Amino acid sequence: MTLGVALLLIFILYLIDKHNRWRLTFRIVIALLILAALGIGGFYGWAKYGEYREAKQAAAQATAFEAKVKACVARFKTVSSTWDAVDEVSAEDSCKNNTDANPIDLSAGFVPKQPKPSPVPPAGFYPVRATHLKATQDVELTTQEFGTLKCGSVKNGELVTLVSDEGNFVKVKTTSGRIGWAAGYQFEVVTGK
């Protein structure tokens, strides 16, 4: 194959020399090199412009998303009477997942929807007779049974009212009116109250 290409090249050079077309050939080769350089440069420039445009669009979308998250967090701040760093982080997490999230007043005690109890208690169910519990240690109340969003706290020895007993977890109401979930082992039953 290389021998065929070499023979073809020799034949073309022979024809150029025979008809004395060196100047025309030189101009054509220069024009072709210029066109090739412009084509390669144009292709490279177009690719770089596409990357630049995508990066600029991604930056604009990120800026818009951050603005929506900040607006969402600001909505959360307006409904909470007590706002701390934990609330800030929780609100940011909620807003990053859904920028149109509705704010919840955590100071009043968020009560998640619970399934309606069945009229017949399940086997092994023993209703709690006591309505008052005493904290055996400092307790952090959360908005959900397995949640991490803090909605209040109970000091060691403080009395609370039992709202619901779900086995390992209890829903309690503090003397200040806050309602939240905590582990059942953190409380003991108070008799005579």
What's the confidence (pLDDT) of residue 126? Answer: 46
What's the confidence (pLDDT) of residue 3? Answer: 92
What's the confidence (pLDDT) of residue 45? Answer: 94
What's the confidence (pLDDT) of residue 105? Answer: 52
Least trusted range by pLDDT, from 14-23, 106-115, 137-146, 184-193: 106-115
Strand locations in the chain (E): 132-135, 139-142, 150-154, 159-165, 169-173, 179-183, 187-189
Helix, strand or coil, per DSSP, at residue 153: strand
